[in-house]
Amino acid sequence: MIIIMLGAPASGKGTQSVVVAQKLGVPHISTGDIFRWNIANNTPIGTEAKKYIDKGMLVPDELTIQILKDRIEMEDCKDGFVLDGFPRTINQQESLDSMLAECKKSIDMAINLAVTDNEVIRRISGRRMCKCGKAYHIVTYPPKTAGICDLCNGELYTRKDDTVEVANTRLEAYKLQSEPIIAVYREKGILVDIDGHKPQDEVSEDVLNEIEKYSSKQGVV
């Protein structure tokens, strides 16, 4: 199955993508994670992407589409994948459609995690990350020990683009460049809206229920 996870920054896309990918046994592909890996490892892609990411702007399509194409052509993607953070522009959405059409594949489902602007800013300004991928919120979802990950004992850090100022730019980029994609997938009849304000576990339940419904209709897993 090919699933696209849509939603504003900090809507829970990353968290829910991991849950879905585990459930389906397919890779979780996050363009944000790929860029951050490149930045941490000082690659040329990382140097280029960092100029935009630190300001809260989108990385140019040409580079983003190329890294995505390279990733989904890998062997482990042949039975499907969950896309988290791609497509983020109409141009990316159209490129993805043609990449998939070339290998006679198509998107099964696009899941839209809806949250309000206020909630986006609230979540981003309190977000703390662990290198294992787990995310916390200092007020509403703190770790058991302050600053330490419950899962791996790693030291928590704040993403450089998780300041209120950069968060506002990211939200603006989302509204202008990414939100129009929702209408495209709705038109194609593959969009499912999920209330992203509920507690994480309930959102996961809602998402997995929708996938279950779709699978039993299609007879695919």
* Contacts with Zn ion, residue ranges (CB under 5 A): 130, 132, 134, 149, 151-152, 154
Interstrand relation of 135-137 and 127-129 (parallel, antiparallel or unpaired): antiparallel
| Cβ nearer to Zn ion, comparing 132 with 164 | 132
Report cis status (omega within 30 of 0) of the bond before 142. Answer: no
Cβ at position 178, least distance to ligand ADP in Å:
8
Taking the C-alpha atoms of residue 164 and residue 92, their distance in angstroms, rounded to an integer, is 27
Residues serving a catalytic function are 13, 88, 127, 159, 170
Residue closer to Zn ion (CB basis): 151 or 183: 151
The CB-of-131 to Zn ion minimum distance in angstroms stands at: 6
Contact of 35 with 53, CB cutoff 8 Å: yes
Q: Return residues touching ligand ADP (CB under 6 A).
A: 9-10, 13, 30-32, 35, 52-53, 56-59, 64, 85-86, 88, 92, 161, 170
Binding partner selected for residue 134 from ligand ADP, Zn ion, none, CB under the kind-specific 5 to 8 Å limit: Zn ion
Residue closer to ligand ADP, measured from CB, 89 or 204? 89
Selection from 100, 138, 127 nearest residue 14 by Cα:
127
Query: Alpha-carbon distance 205 to 185, whole Å?
Result: 22
The DSSP 8-state label assigned to residue 148 in this structure reads B
Nearest approach in angstroms of CB 149 to Zn ion is 3
- Shortest distance, position 89 Cβ to ligand ADP, whole Å: 7
**Cβ proximity of 6 and 110 under 8 Å:** yes
Residue count of the chain: 221
Please identify, using beta-carbon distances, which residue of 16 and 30 lies nearer to ligand ADP.
30
d(CA 59, CA 51): 8
9 binds, among Zn ion, ligand ADP, none (CB under 5 to 8 A by kind): ligand ADP
